[in-house]
Amino acid sequence: MEYRAFGRTGVQVSTLCLGAMMFGGPTDEKDSGAIIDAALDAGINFLDTANVYSRGRSEEVVGAALRANGKRDRIVLASKVHGRMDDDDPNAYGNSRRHLIEQCEASLRRLGTDWIDLYQIHRPEPATPIDETLRALDDLVRQGKIRYIGFSTFAAWQVVESIYVAKELGLNRVVCEQPPYNLLDRRIERELVPVAETYGLALIPWSPLASGFLTGKYRRGEDYPSDSRLARQNGGNRTYGEAAFAVLDVVEQIAKEKGCTPSQLAVAWCAAQRAVTSPIIGPRTMAQLEDNLGALDVMLSDADFDRLDTVALPGRASATYYEADFGPSAR
C-alpha cells in the first residue's frame, strides 16, 4: 500500500479511502465489519462515512467494527454533516452552528470515539454564512472533538472564500475537499484542481466508478441490473448517453489489454490524476472490495492516458456528477 501526504497536514493516508455509505444499509453489520477488517489488513488506513448514511447506522456499524478490531488509533476516520437527520425538525439539517455542534456530538457517540480526524461539510448551503459554519468548526477543533476540517462537493470559489474568511477571522481552515471525479465527469480539472494545488488541499474524490457505470454493468439499450445502485435508486437522476458509453468502450479495451477489470482501470486512472490524494471506494460486497484493491497494481502509460483523453475530454463531462455550482443539498 502506498501512503500519500494528506494535503498540508503532515498526515499520511492510504492511496485508497474506504467509503462506508453501503455499511449498515445494503450491507449488513456482519459483512460490513468483515469488509472493514479486510481493508485494514490490506493497508487502508483512511475510512469515510457520514451521519446521513442510513440516518446514523453507517457510523454505528463503523464504530462497532473499529472497537472489535482495536484499530481505531491507526485509522484516519472521516465523517460528514449537513444532511437531514429528522423529517419533522426544520433545524435538523444544514450548516448552522446549532446543527453542526449537535450532530458532531451525535456522530461521536455513534462512532464510539472521542475525536473525528476529518469532519466534512457534506454540501454547501448558501443560506448559512460561511463564517458561522467556520466558527463552529473551529470551536470543535479547539475542543479536540475534530482534528481537521473538510468540505464535499463545494465549488472552487466557495473553497477559496472559506480560506479567505478563515484567514480574516483567525480560524482553522479547510484542508480537504471531496468532489465527484471520474472519467465521465472531469470538470473539477477546470478550477478545483488548481485551487487544491495552490492552497495545499487534499482531494479525495467520490464515485471514481461513476455509480458503477465504469464497471461495465450498464449496457446500451438494456435495463439497469437489479442489483445495481441506480436500480435501487429507481434510476437516480442521471442518464448515460452515447458519449458515456464511448468512454466505457475504451476503458474496457484498455482493461482487456492489461488483464484487469474495467473498474480497476477506472480507479487507477483516478488515483493517478493531478492533486488527487485518495479516491473513495464504496464496496457493497467483499468481492467488490477485492476488485477495488486490485487497482493498486494497475499501471497506466502515457499512451493509455492519451487514449482515454480522446473520449473522456479533460475538463468536460459526458454525465453529470459535479453539481457544486448549484449549491445542492444532501437532505
Annotation marks residue 53 as catalytic: yes
Tell me what pLDDT residue 328 has.
47
For 255, the grid coordinates are 482493461
Specify if 16 maps to a domain: yes
d(CA 63, CA 72): 9
Specify if 141 maps to a domain: yes
Given 3, 53, 181, 321, the catalytic residue: 53
Specify if 201 maps to a domain: no
Specify if 138 maps to a domain: yes
Helix axes 302-311 and 242-258, enclosed angle (nearest 10): 160
Cβ within 8 Å of residue 9, ≥6 positions away: 148, 175, 202
Structurally, how many domains does the chain consist of? 1
Specify if 71 maps to a domain: yes
Query: Could you tell me the residue range of the domain that residue 139 belongs to?
Result: 3-178
How many residues are there in the chain? 331
Which CATH number fits the domain that encloses residue 84?
A: 3.20.20.100
Specify if 77 maps to a domain: yes
Within 10 angstroms of residue 6's Cβ, the number of other Cβ atoms is 23
Specify if 46 maps to a domain: yes
For 41, the grid coordinates are 489488513
**Pick from 191, 158, 209: nearest CA to 319:** 209
Mean pLDDT by 10 residues, the chain (331 residues): 97 98 97 98 98 98 98 97 96 97 98 98 95 98 98 97 98 98 97 98 97 91 71 63 96 98 98 98 98 98 98 95 61 41
Specify if 183 maps to a domain: no
The model's pTM: 0.93
